Amino acid sequence: MNLNTDFSKFPILETANLLLREVVEKDVEEVFFLRSDKEIMKYIPRPLAKTKDEALVHIEVLRKAKENEEGINWAITQKGNETLIGIIGLYRIEKENFRSEIGYILHPAFQGKGILGEALQKVMEFAFTHCNFHTLTAVIDPRNSASERVLQRANFTKEAHFREDFYYDGEFLDSVHYSIINPK
């Protein structure tokens, strides 16, 4: 079995309503908005972006991860409008175990409309059929019930709830781990 993580030709993914494309420098305003908003980031244990330059650095980190076959991220856009409304991607690729973590962030104005579920299904299909991953995992904050519902609708299984398993910003936080195995 071979894993395909050669993302040198960026794979543009399309659904009925969405176009998933590469996150690029022209997305800096939208990336900054998502990564700097305290409410949007409340369940994502990462420092808030304080400047557009930090958002540009984040975009560069995503580019390098793709280049190094460590991950791949797509800008979530609606067909007919190239404005980034979210990001979805494969992170922490473990080639030796044929597994990757999947993660996402979505502009609040587009939440609760099925957009994330639609994007997630397409990225899962890509991960299983193109990349040949065996397992996808998702790690979420247990307070993030909306993300939990998205994963459950996508047939992810709750594997574990770890209590206070990591330290961030002065407190110990729980994490919930979900996974799905390639249905082949």
Give the CATH number of domain 13-181.
3.40.630.30
Strands 81-94 and 99-106: antiparallel
Structure tokens at 139: 């790690």
- Give which of 151, 156, 159 is closest to 43, Cα–Cα: 151
Alpha carbon 16 to chain centroid distance?
20
pLDDT of res. 155? 97
Model pTM?
Answer: 0.96
Tell me the pLDDT band of 184, cut-offs 50, 70 and 90. confident
Separation between Cα atoms, residue 173 and residue 164, nearest integer Å: 4
Tell me the pLDDT band of 168, cut-offs 50, 70 and 90. very high
Instruction: Give every CB contact of residue 53 below 8 A, 6+ residues apart in sequence.
Output: none
**Cβ neighbour number for residue 157 with a 10 Å cutoff:** 11
Mean pLDDT of 48-61: 97
- Domains of the chain, residue spans: 13-181
pLDDT of res. 1? 77
Query: What tens digit of pLDDT does each residue of 111-143 get?
Result: 999 999 999 999 999 999 999 999 999 999 999
Per-residue b or e along 85-108, where b marks 16 or more CB atoms closer than 10 Å to that residue's CB: bbbbbbbebeeeebbbbbbbbbbe
